Amino acid sequence: MKTIDKSNLDKIIGILKKDGYTVIGPIVKDGAIVYDEIESINDLPVGWGDEQEAGSYKLVKRNDDSLFGYVVGPQSWKKFLFPQRMKLWEAGREGRGFKINHSDEPVPKYAFLGVRSCELKAIFIQDKVFNNDMYTDSYYNNVRNNIFIISVNCTQSASTCFCVSMKSGPKAKDGFDISLTEVINKEGHYFVLDEASEKGKELTEMLDAQTATEQQIKAADEAIASAELSMKRSMNTAGIKELLYHNHDHPNWAEIATRCLSCANCTLVCPTCFCHTMEDTTDLTGDHTERWRRWDSCFSLDYSKVAGGSFRTSAKARYRQWMTHKLASWIDQFGTSGCVGCGRCISWCPVGIDITSEVEKIRNSPKNKIINQ
Amino acid sequence: MDNNKSGLMKLDPMTPEAVKVKKIFWETEDVFTIELVYDSDEKREFSYKPGQFNMLYAFGVGESAISISSDSSKKNSLLHTIHKVGYVTNVLSKLKKGDIIGLRGPFGSSWPLEEAKGKDICIIVGGIGLAPLRPSIYHILKHRKQYGKFVLLYGARTPRDILYPVELESWRKKYDIQIEVTVDRADSTWRGHVGVVTTLLNYVELNPEKTMAMVCGPEIMMKYAVDELIKHGVTEKEIYVSLERNMKCALGFCGHCQYGPSFVCKDGPVFSFSKVTDIFEIKEL
C-alpha cells in the first residue's frame, strides 16, 4: 500500500492521457455528479457531496475540499461500455439490393477514474451479459479489454445505498488497476493507493508515492468502515429467487402499479440494466439507411410487442418483470443478482418506489412465512 | 475477437447478409412464402435445423424474426412462410423476384427429431404454426421408418386459410401419416372438421407412453393443446412447444424476448414443456 497526494492524482491523469487514454471522471453538471471526460483534478467535484432519499437527489457543499465526497449520481459507467445510442452500421441502396458499411472509427481507449465498488460489480455483471454462451458483443468487449480502472472506495454512504447487503461494497476488492481511498484528517489530505494489475503497478512507479504508514492504512480502513456502518438500507436476499418466482400473483404488484409511472427511470439509471432495441432510419431519398442500437426499457409497452399485441400491457406486469428479472431470473441467466445495491433506482424514481421495501412487503406477507424462515 | 462462438454464422452476428428472392407467392389471402438464395456466384449452402428462425431484413424498414419452413436437407435455398401483419412483413410481401433482402441466422433451438426416433409423433399446429413445423414433417416423412405412428392435427381459421393444401393432400396419399384438419368457421364447400384443433385428438389413437408431441400456434391454442395431451397421458417432458416473443437482436443481448429465466431467441423458441410448466400459465409474464 502506498499514499499519494492530490498533485500525484493529477499526475496519474496526465500519464494516462499521454498514454492515449480518454480519462473519464466525475464532474458537476446540471445539478448532479455525472461522468465525463476530464483534463485534470480541477474538473473533479471539489468540495461537493450529495444527499439522496427515495425520489430525491441534491448536491450539497461540503465543508472540506474532498474530490470524491459524493456517493453515486444518475449515470453509471455503462454509458461508455454500452452507449445509450450507437450506430451499428449504415447501408446504401445498390441496384435491387444494398451494401452495408461498418464504421471504421477506432475503439475508444478509456480510463475510468472514480469507479465505486458497486459500479465495478455492475461492470462484472455486464461482462457476463455481453459475452454469453453463444455470442460476444464486439463493441462492449473491445472497449472493455482496453479499459484502465481507478476505483475509489466509499467513505460514506447515501441513505439510498445498500451495497453491504448485496456484497458489492463499500470497498473494491478486485478488478481494478488502481484503487484509492481518500482520507482527509488532521494529518492532511491524501489517498491510500493499492495496485491490482501490472498496468497499475507500472503507473504507480511513475508517481511520487510514499509507502503507506500503518496509521494511514488504518485511517483509510476506518473511513471505509464508516461508510459501511452508516448504511441505512439493506436488502434481505435469502431465498430471493424462490420468493419472487413464487409470488407472481402477489397483491403487492398491483399496489406498486398504483404508484409506478412506467417512466423507465429506474432502468436507465441502473448500472446493470442492459435491454436495448434496434432502430432503422432512412433519409428522405430512401437510399441511405442506418441501424442504431439504443437503450430500451421493459417498462415500455413496445418492449414486449409482437404482431398480436404486447405481452405485458399492465404496469403491474411490467414492474414485476423488472424486479423479478433483476433479483431472481438474473441469477438463472448469469449466475449473479442483477442488483448491486447502488440505490439509484430509489433516488431517481420520481415517486420514490424503494426496491428494498417492496421486496420486504412481499417477504413479510403471511403467505410467504415459510420461504421467509 | 471471436464474436460468434455459436459457429452458426459467417459474419458479425449483427450484420445482415444479402440474399436474393428467387420466388415469392401467396399461400392464402394474408400468408406468403419467399424462397431465398445466396446472392453470389460463390457456391454456398444454407445450414439449419427444423424449428430454427432467421431475422429477415427489409432495406431501410427493419427486421422480423421468421421461422424457416423449408426442407432442411435441401441446402440451396430457404423458404419462409410469412403472415403479413406488421411493417416489415408488409414490405416483404411486396418483394419481387430478384430483389435483395438481408438475412441473419439461423437462430434458436430446434425440434427434437433425434430424441423422437422410435416414438409416435403427434404434431398439433394452429394457423401459421404449421410453417415452423413443416421442416420437421419433411424430415420425418423422409426418414419415415425411424419413427412410429405419425399424426398431424392442424387448425385453420377458415378453409381459405389452410396452408399448403396441395402438399397436405400429397402427404396423405404418399405417406403413412394421419392428417386431420379443422377450421373455426366453415363455408359451403367444407366437408371436414369444424371446431378448435384440440377436438381432433378425439379422432386419433394415441399410445401416450411412446408419443412425442410438437405443438406450435397461438399461445392460447398451445395451452389447450398441452392440457389435452396431458389428459391423454402424454408426459410434459415429451411435449415440445415453440414460443413467440419480441426479438430485436436474436443473440440473447437485447432482453426483449425474455420469458422467465429464458431468452426465447437463444434458449428457445422450441422448449420442452417440462421446462416452462411453472410459468406457462402466468399471465403477462
**Strand pairing partners for A299?**
none
Contact A135 B13 (CB under 8 A): yes
Neighbours of B4 (CB within 10 A): 18
DSSP-derived 3-state class of residue B187 = coil
DSSP-derived 3-state class of residue B119 = coil
A155-161: average pLDDT: 97
A282 contacts on B by Cβ (under 8 Å)? 60
A275: Cβ contacts below 8 Å, ≥ 6 apart: A267, A295, A296, A297, A298, A303, B254, B255, B256
Q: Which of A95, A102, A305 sits opposite B246 (nearest CB)?
A: A305
Q: Which of residues 315-354 of A touch B (CB under 8 A)?
A: 316-317, 321, 325, 329, 332-333
Contact B285 A321 (CB under 8 A): yes
- Rounded to the nearest 10 degrees, how much is the dihedral formed by the CA atoms of B108, B114, B116, B122? 50
pLDDT tens digits for range A34-61? 999 999 999 999 999 999 999 999 999 9
pLDDT band at A373; cut points 50, 70, 90: very low
Contact A102 B251 (CB under 8 A): no
DSSP-derived 3-state class of residue B175 = coil
pLDDT given at position A332: 97
Q: Which of B59, B86, B266 sits opposite A93 (nearest CB)?
A: B59
Tell me how close the Cα of B117 comes to any Cα of chain A, in angstroms.
27
pLDDT band at B11; cut points 50, 70, 90: low
- Cα gap A137→B1, rounded to integer Å: 9
Q: A135: which DSSP letter?
A: B
pLDDT given at position A141: 94
B179 CB within 8 Å of a chain A CB = no
B284 CB within 8 Å of a chain A CB = yes
In Å, how far from its chain's centre is CA B215?
A: 9
Nearest CA in chain B to A126: B253
Nearest CA in chain A to B266: A134
- Cα gap B258→A334, rounded to integer Å: 13
Contact A172, A115 (CB under 8 A): yes
- Cα gap A308→A328, rounded to integer Å: 28
Percentage with pLDDT > 90 across chain B:
92
| pLDDT > 90? residue B8 | no
B72-79: average pLDDT: 95
Query: Domain B120-280, what architecture?
Result: 3-Layer(aba) Sandwich (3.40)
- Cα gap A274→B280, rounded to integer Å: 25
For residue A171, give the nearest of A203, A194, A148, A189 by alpha carbon: A194
Q: Which of B14, B251, B283 sits opposite A134 (nearest CB)?
A: B251
Neighbours of A284 (CB within 10 A): 6
Q: Where are the beta strands (DSSP E) in B169-210?
A: 178-183, 193-194
DSSP-derived 3-state class of residue B229 = helix
Contact B147, B117 (CB under 8 A): yes
A304-324: average pLDDT: 94
A362: Cβ contacts below 8 Å, ≥ 6 apart: A243, A244, A247, A250, A252, A368
pLDDT band at B12; cut points 50, 70, 90: confident
State the ipTM, two decimals: 0.92
Q: Which of B2, B3, B97 to mutate to test the interface with A (most CBs of A within 10 A)?
A: B3
Contact B104, B51 (CB under 8 A): no
For residue A231, report the phi and psi dihedrals to the nearest 5 degrees: -70, 120
- Cα gap B41→B140, rounded to integer Å: 32
DSSP-derived 3-state class of residue A295 = strand
Tell me which CATH homologous superfamily contains domain B17-107.
Translation factors (2.40.30.10)
Q: Look-up: residue for cell 511513475?
A: A206
Contact B191, B221 (CB under 8 A): no
Contact A74, A344 (CB under 8 A): yes
Q: Which of A102, A133, A286 sits opposite B60 (nearest CB)?
A: A286
Q: Report strand pairing: B53-58 vs A309-310.
A: unpaired
B37 CB within 8 Å of a chain A CB = no
- Cα gap B138→A158, rounded to integer Å: 63
Cell numbers that stand for B3 in this block:
464474436
Least confident of A85-99, A118-132, A165-179, B34-48: B34-48
pLDDT given at position A254: 96
Contact B14 A88 (CB under 8 A): yes
pLDDT tens digits for range B154-211? 999 999 999 999 999 999 999 999 999 999 999 999 999 999 999 999 999 999 999 9
Contact A179, A152 (CB under 8 A): yes
- Cα gap B131→B166, rounded to integer Å: 14
pLDDT tens digits for range A194-243? 999 999 999 999 999 999 999 999 999 999 999 999 999 999 999 999 99
Q: What is the mean pLDDT of chain A?
A: 96
Tell me how close the Cα of B64 comes to any Cα of chain A, in angstroms.
10
pLDDT tens digits for range B76-111? 999 999 999 999 999 999 999 999 999 999 999 999
pLDDT given at position B7: 54
Nearest CA in chain A to B250: A135
Q: How many helices (H) and strands (E) does chain B have?
A: 5, 15
pLDDT given at position A247: 95
A278 CB within 8 Å of a chain B CB = yes
The dihedral sign for the CA sequence A32, A36, A41, A43: negative
List the end-to-end C-alpha distance of chain B, in Å, as a whole number. Answer: 35
Contact A65, A47 (CB under 8 A): yes
Contact A89, A102 (CB under 8 A): yes
Cell numbers that stand for A95 in this block:
441496384
Q: How is chain B split into domains, by residue range?
A: 17-107, 120-280
Percentage with pLDDT > 90 across chain A:
94
pLDDT tens digits for range A276-288? 999 999 999 999 9
pLDDT band at A103; cut points 50, 70, 90: confident
Cis peptide before A26 (omega within 30 of 0): no
Contact B265, A135 (CB under 8 A): no
Cell numbers that stand for B236 in this block:
410434459
pLDDT given at position B271: 98
| pLDDT > 60? residue A2 | yes
Q: How far, CA to CA in Å, does A62 sit from each of A10, A51, A114?
A: 21, 11, 18
- Cα gap B214→A73, rounded to integer Å: 50
The CA radius of gyration of chain B, in Å to the nearest whole number, is 19
